């Protein structure tokens, strides 16, 4: 029998982990420089926590049974968990709260993706208690800073507004509204043209699907529509955000962008790489001003916005610039006899204590000197410390040519 991980799971070998950590450390540096603080929430959550606000589709949650709690879910994303923690555990906190996370998530794939991956790794931030255009701009500018810090060069941002787009759909008959929204999200022009819509509404749906391009140009086109007060305010807010970004990063405004999570209330966006192998969505985010109120004991509304980056997708597009080899040991400590093994361990520990970043390994097999040198050469270890029973040390430089 050949033992394999379950379908949807995979092993991360040491080089995979080294590359993953390389990315995460650089993202963490940026998050901390922007004054965000690390938060860790449980891998398991109650199902009602995960489902609040239409955060996720029930069929995507991998469930486990607990004799006391009943069915629990492996978190399929982090925003709902952090919103729950902030609303219930951070009572009296001074806002805004700036939080970041590095964590794994679990998401069951659709029936068409039976061999798809179920476990993913994300890094992201949540900015709680700030609802201004400046807060939206901070999130996007920090996202750009993070991607620059990991060395990603070819990417752009697709920006939308869930609240504005949702409001523009209210004129459609309720039985058809979901189908119109789904067709727009899929950019399915044929579906829109075949829906039983009045000509004026069909034209409006097609125009809405085409509302993408240079931000100020798209907003100018929207301003020519008949808008109510909410829509005018949302469009003006979006314009303020775009102006604060000052053309960086590269932004496409797409009012047909509809995220899969229903809790988004305002700004939504996707990070898209422009690699030579094709486009790939590296992350997503948006504003969710009603979500924390669902968890708050007094239903207090607290605005929020955040983003998540898909670490494994970043790893794929950055592969050429990531570490290609594992770090090698700086020194191999070898006892010259069985009586010298304890002294070898003591010397190795002294070396580790003297310099935090030094990597020291001990020769465990008491091989002959020639075999020990061959091992060091194969492992690219530049130095051998020979230790005798009295604790005396002789340093030998290994020829690695």
**Cα–Cα distance measured from residue 245 to residue 250, given in angstroms and rounded to the nearest whole number:** 9
CB 396 within 8 A of CB 370: no
**209-252 confidence digits (pLDDT tens):** 888 899 999 999 998 888 999 999 999 999 999 999 987 778 99
Low-confidence ranges of the chain (pLDDT < 70): 1, 53-55, 110-115, 259-261, 276-278
pLDDT value of residue 55: 61
Domains in the chain (CATH in brackets) are 14-321 (3.30.930.10), 331-397 (3.40.50.800)
CB atoms within 10 A of CB 8: 17
E strands in 257-325: 267-275, 278-287, 304-310
Q: Is the distance from CB of 185 to CB of 256 less than 8 angstroms?
A: yes
How far, in Å, CA of 254 to CA of 165, rounded?
10
Work out the burial of residue 179: count CB atoms within 10 Å of its CB; fewer than 13 is exposed, 13-18 middle, 19 or more buried.
middle
Distance between CA 372 and CA 241 in Å, rounded?
Answer: 63
Nearest Cα residue to 283 out of 248, 250, 307: 307
- In this prediction, residue 259 carries a pLDDT of 58
């Amino acid at each position: 029998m050949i033992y394999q991980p379950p379908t949807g799971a995979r092993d991360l070998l040491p080089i995979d982990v080294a590359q993953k950590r390389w990315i995460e450390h650089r993202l963490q540096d940026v998050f901390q420089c922007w004054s965000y603080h690390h938060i860790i929430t449980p891998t398991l959550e109650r199902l009602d926590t995960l489902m609040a606000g239409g955060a996720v589709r029930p069929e995507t949650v991998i469930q486990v049974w607990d004799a006391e709690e009943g069915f629990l879910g492996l978190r399929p994303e982090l925003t709902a968990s952090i919103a729950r923690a902030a609303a219930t555990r951070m009572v009296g906190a001074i806002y805004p709260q700036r939080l970041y996370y590095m964590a794994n998530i679990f998401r069951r794939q659709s029936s068409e993706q039976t061999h798809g991956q179920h476990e993913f790794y994300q890094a992201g931030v949540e900015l709680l208690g700030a609802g201004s255009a400046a807060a939206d701009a901070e999130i996007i500018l920090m996202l750009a800073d993070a991607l620059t810090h990991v060395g990603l060069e070819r990417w752009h941002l697709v920006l939308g507004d869930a609240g504005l787009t949702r409001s523009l759909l209210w004129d459609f008959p309720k039985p058809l509204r979901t189908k119109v929204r789904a067709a727009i999200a899929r950019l399915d022009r044929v579906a829109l043209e075949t829906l039983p819509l009045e000509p004026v509404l069909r034209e409006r749906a097609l125009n809405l699907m085409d509302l993408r391009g240079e931000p100020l140009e798209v907003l100018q086109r929207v301003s020519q529509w008949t808008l109510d007060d909410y829509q005018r305010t949302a469009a003006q807010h979006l314009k303020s955000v775009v102006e604060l970004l000052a053309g960086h990063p590269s932004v496409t405004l797409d009012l047909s962008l509809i995220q899969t999570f229903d809790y988004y209330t305002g700004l939504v966006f996707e990070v898209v790489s422009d690699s030579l192998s094709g486009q790939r969505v590296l992350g997503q985010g948006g504003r969710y001003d009603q979500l924390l109120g669902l968890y708050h004991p007094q239903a207090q509304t607290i605005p929020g916005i955040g983003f998540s980056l898909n670490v494994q997708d970043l790893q794929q597009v950055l592969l050429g610039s990531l570490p290609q080899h594992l770090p090698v040991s700086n020194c191999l400590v070898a006892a010259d006899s069985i009586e010298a093994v304890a002294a070898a361990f003591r010397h190795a520990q002294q070396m580790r204590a003297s310099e935090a970043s030094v990597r020291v390994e001990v020769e465990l097999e008491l091989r002959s000197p020639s075999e020990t040198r061959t091992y060091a050469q194969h492992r690219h270890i530049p130095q051998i410390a020979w230790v005798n029973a009295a604790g005396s040390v002789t340093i030998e430089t290994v020829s690695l040519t």
